[in-house]
Amino acid sequence: MKNLCFAVLIAGFGLNANAVGRLADVSIVDRDSGEELNTHFYRGEYWVVGTPGARYSILIRNALGERLLAVTAVDGVNVLSGDTANWNQTGYVFWARQHYEVTGWRKSDSEVAAFEFTALPNSYAARTGRPENVGVIGVALFRERATPESESYARAFKSQDVPNPAPSPTAPARAGSENSLAALGAGVPQSLGTGHGEREYSAVHHVDFERLSSRPDELIRIRYDSLENLVAMGVVHQSRRSPTQPNPFPESPLARYVPDPPDSR
């Protein structure tokens, strides 16, 4: 089975309070500000606040000294194939200790359509007849089965001689493995979904990855909605400002008397 995978190009990262995950840190980035969105834990689930119209990305950081496969879904849809998501589908491959921002729905080996927060009816899932799971981002992580190639890579990583995942032409899948892609580079408020935004350049190439298990080694789930909805649900608590004392004559000066002179002693 052909599988798209992501080989990340930037190595090294620190701990982040907004990230979710154990094998990999997953966080949501506002692409307009460059900031990672705050994560709110509520009743066993992680939530982030989405701003309608804002572009966002899914930042995945591999925390291990080995490759990981990240099958990624938004609103119940696989971000690479557009199929209704199943963790047995195509995903992105991440090299050891590397990270990358998944910025949109993959349209080809060189292009994506940007993720952007939008009203639920305008979401890609709803427009393709699948509105049931709008409002959730999922990442299924798989460790790699040991092969001579993967063991060689692990030894290189431990010796600090980490190979740089350069682009390569699509290769046929070997028996028992998957051919994957490596990337280079008024009334009640309406719930948010993820729209099919503008096209952007994003190149990928195929790599081989054999899963250690048929089930994910870790399953990460992050839900999102508008600030207004999350406040109403109790997920986000906003501090209330103390009301100021009203002034019936705000443009009039206060009454004043002659002040005492300074102390001459």
Summarised one tens digit per residue, pLDDT across range 80-135 is 999 999 999 989 999 999 888 999 999 998 999 999 999 999 999 999 999 999 99
Number of domains composing the chain: 1
Is the pLDDT reported for residue 245 higher than 50? yes
CB 52: neighbour CB atoms within 10 A?
A: 15
81 conformational bin, left if phi > 0, alpha if psi -120 to 50, beta if neither:
alpha
Give the pLDDT of residue 80. Answer: 95
Of all residues in the chain, what percent carry a pLDDT higher than 90? 61
147 pLDDT band, cuts 50/70/90, is: confident
Does 262 map to a domain?
no
Rounded to whole angstroms, how far apart are CA atoms 246 and 120?
41
Residues 98, 104, 105, 107: what is their CA dihedral angle, to the nearest 10 degrees? -90
Does 246 map to a domain?
no
Give the pLDDT of residue 229. Answer: 95
Tell me which of 263 and 142 has the higher pLDDT.
Answer: 142
Handedness of CA 102, 105, 107, 111 (dihedral sign): negative
Average pLDDT over residues 214-240: 92
Give the pLDDT of residue 174. Answer: 36
Does 213 map to a domain?
yes
User: What mean pLDDT is reported for the chain?
Assistant: 81
Helix or strand or coil: residue 85? coil
Does 243 map to a domain?
no
Give the pLDDT of residue 180. Answer: 55
Does 263 map to a domain?
no
**What is the pTM (predicted TM-score) of this model?**
0.76
Please write the tens of the pLDDT for every residue from 44-91: 999 999 999 999 999 999 999 999 999 999 999 999 999 999 999 989
Domain assignment of residue 73, given as a range: 10-167+186-233
Does 172 map to a domain?
no
